[in-house]
Structure 1
Amino acid sequence: MCGRYALGIRASFVRYQLQQQGMQVDNAPEDDEARETYNFPPGAYGLVYRAEVPDSGLRDDEETPAEVNEQTDAPTAVQEDRTGEDETSQEDQATGDKKHFNYEIKVMKWGLIPFWTKRSPDYGSMMRTINCRDDSLIENRGMWNTMKQRKRCIVVAQGFYEWLKKGPGGKEKVPHFVKRKDGQLMCFAGLWDCVKYEDAEEKLYTYTIITTDSNKQLNFLHDRMPVILDPDTDAMKLWLDPTVNKWSKELQSLLKPFEGELECYPVNKDVGKVGNNSPDFIIPVDSKENKKNIANFFGNAQKKNDLKHSSQENKEVKVERNQDIRKTEDHNGSENSAPMPVPPKSDGGMKRKADLDDEGEHVEKAPKLEFNPDDKPSLQQPATPDKAPSPPKRTTAKKTRSATSNADVSKKPSPAKADGSKRITSFFGKT
């Protein structure tokens, strides 16, 4: 803790934001010099805000940023004669005047490497110095002693990540993102240093983030949190003042839990893999803006389904309109104007006979075709008996009704169909 934070913004935007909050920024790097990612890992090059001082820090009140020595690459200037320098310093102290310092945003590597290091350490060693505990700075000894006195800085971020352990044995880890509720950039209290390896030609600037006890809002998440300072406050000015080059209780008192309001919420689990990068990592999982939100998934599916049905309905309506292009005529709505039924033809030879099928349905039998000797087709006429058959007499006997038709059917069972089905009356007759 803190092992991952977000910095998905350009250096020019960071400069603008700090200036908007009343902080002095005299120099800043180009946008492509620092890593721009929403999943900022240890070992990456981030943005650090500090006073422009020599690489060894401002040792005493007599040194100024314009002075150059063998161990620094501070801004070059005409070296002044040090004769009478003590008298000038005493005059400044008597009048209370303070020297002017430039402040800069500088690109540094996350994971502090002390200036006395001879060779590049391995990744595991660097990981042990990405954070510095506030209680390790109380005594004036240890590896942090030089940095805490003369090399203090601010680490700029959008917010930081922490993983909540859940389930048996804490096997399940749910990432949470923490940011300021007012939307401002987070300013972590940090320390920096500069090292030059034996076999290297260039210097390497590195930094660490100071942590303290979590406030009440984040106790459920972790017992540690970064020290967060408010921009353009007396606390931040004191922390960045290079003339305060002796550790004091006043400086130690600045390292405390954040008293402002924070926002903390679960985020996409993909942030757990170093190398992944997405703006969704700083958006709540259950937010409508997050593509991983399950509600958005079903919402999008329903939206697509609705659009599909709407498109289909429009297509059907279009087809119906294309087919129904008949001319519309006005009618008076009275049955007296309805067309009369067509009378049956008198030619009995052309009249089709009606019959019933096995299920009692009416079936129209088409007349059979046969060929005459002269190969001309003609309709077969029914044989005419000597005497015309008399019409069937009407009886008052009750006729059997079909279960599937309104036509009368004969009581005599019909033979089984070719497909093996039988009349339902035959089935119940045998049971």
Structure 2
Amino acid sequence: MSERINVMLPWLGEEESKALAEVIESGWVAQGPRVARFESEFAAVMQAEHAVAVTSCTTALHLALIVAGIGPGDDVVVPSFSFIATTNVVRYVGANPIFADVDAATGNLTADTIEAVRTPATRAVIAVDQGGVPVDLDAIRAVTDPLGILVLEDAACGAGSTYRGRPVGAGAEIAAWSFHPRKLLTTGEGGMITTSRADWADRARHLREHAMSVSAADRHRSVLPPAEEYVELGYNFRMTDLQAAVGLVQLGRLPAIVTRRREIAGRYQAAIADIPGLRAVADPEYGTSNFQSFWVEVEAGYPTDRDGLLAALAAAGVSARRGIMAAHRQPPYRELARSGCLAVTERLTDHTLILPVYHQLSAADQDRVIAVLRRPAG
């Protein structure tokens, strides 16, 4: 078998190694000055007023719901067509997830799909930029804002994508980001909250550090620190300076990463355009995707089904992945699914797959992938 082609590889190099060494030499490896710098620079790049670094996008979503006041008795509209954390965080705060269907072209919630399931108890919507495809936030907020419904943008996959000429998340009251290795920017694990509200950012910083009355940084600066008080239920959601140092280097790489991924996606799109039965994800008219995930739908007229194509790719040494999961099919949420209400979600989950896209992918390796797409039977 030829050398394996992975579905994703992070782009890491000597700059990240040097940044980590500097942190180790400094003697301060926990949350500290580099986390603060990463927050500031990330906010600037994403055109956000405030940024709060945390341990993952899941904890970012969790804290975002808490600071926004979402809790027991509240309904929160979510896409089933998303990683399960999007739904889990709703239950973390004691609220009720309400599944909405998605648009077939983008894989995202729309104003219409939200309206179809909205209840009198709906107080929030979690709108995902699925696979890096920007969600149409203005259209959704035109419906939700007059009703006082919060829109929390799950931008886990969105760094480097644009919406109406601005970075995704820039138009949201609050958004959550991921730095998992599958994302364009990675810190190993890690996440970020961005928000337009100083009070929400301040409370998120407080809660991520056990809700201590005195921060770790303040205690470190004091020879005899004051006694701390834990004024409410808090969490240990702190990012380390080791992670932030890597994140700062990665943030500087973002334009090059996006450019390269869009080149690879464009080459796939051109190659797939004349293959009957394959439909590739594309930019919506209102924005551009970073193609964090490049997915293809296998339709009628193609020589095999989705799973057959996955098997053919695997036989050629290509590691592809099934499309985005449907959370409503998982055991904790099966009772929430209503028959026929998530038809597009189920179609996309059953008939899409994710192709390899990463910065180091060579033209020759991409040609190997394309060759299988053209002749899945060999």
TM-score of the superposed pair, with normalisation by structure 2: 0.20
Higher CA-based Rg: 1
Higher relative contact order (CA 8 A, sep 6+): 2
TM-score of the superposed pair, with normalisation by structure 1: 0.18
